[in-house]
Chains A and B, each alone.
Chain A
Amino acid sequence: MSEVSDAITQAHHEEWARVVAALTRRFGDLDIAEEAAAEAFATAVEKWPADGVPPNPGAWLTTTANRRAIDRLRRENKRPDKQKEAQMSYDVPSEPLGAIDDPRLRLIFTCCHPALAMEARIALTLRMVGGLTVPEIARAFLAQESTVGQRITRAKGKIKAARIPYRVPSAEDLPGRVSGVLAVLFLVFNEGYLATAADTDPVRHELTAEAIRLTRLIRGLLPNDGETAGLLALMLLTESRRTARVSAHGELVTLDEQDRGSWDGELIAQGHQLVRERLATGMAPGRYQLLAAINAVHTSARDVRDTDWSQIVALYDQLVRLDPSPIVILNRAIAVAELDGPDVALGIVDRLEDKLETYHAFHATRADLLRRLGRSKQSRAAYDKAIELAGNTAETAYLTRRRDQLG
Chain B
Amino acid sequence: MQYLVSVIDDRTASATDDELAAIDGFNERIQADGSWVFAGGLAAPSSATVIDNRDGAAVFTDGPFVESKEYLAGFWVLEAPDLDVALRLAAEGSRACHRRVEVRPFL
Contact = CB atoms under 8 A, between A and B. Distances in A.
Given A161-B105, A163-B105, A173 B83 contact: no
B87 A163 contact: no
B67 interface: no
A163 B82 CA distance: 5
Interface string B75-107: 000000111101100000000000000011101
A164 B105 CA distance: 10
Contacts of A170: 84
Interface of B is mostly: mixed
B15 interface: no
A162 B2 CA distance: 10
Interface in B1-60: 1
A390 B103 CA distance: 40
Interface residues of B, number: 11
Contacts, number: 25
B82 A115 contact: no
Contacts of B83: 113, 115, 162-165
B105 A165 contact: no
Contacts of B84: 164-165, 169-170, 173
Contacts of B103: 162
A6 to B, nearest CB: 41
Interface string A31-47: 00000000000000000
A165 B87 contact: no
A158 B32 CA distance: 29
A316 B82 CA distance: 42
Q: Which 5 A-B pairs have the closest CB atoms?
A: A165-B82, A163-B82, A162-B83, A162-B105, A164-B83
Interface of A: 113, 115, 161-165, 169-170, 173
5 contacts: A163-B81, A163-B82, A163-B83, A164-B84, A170-B84
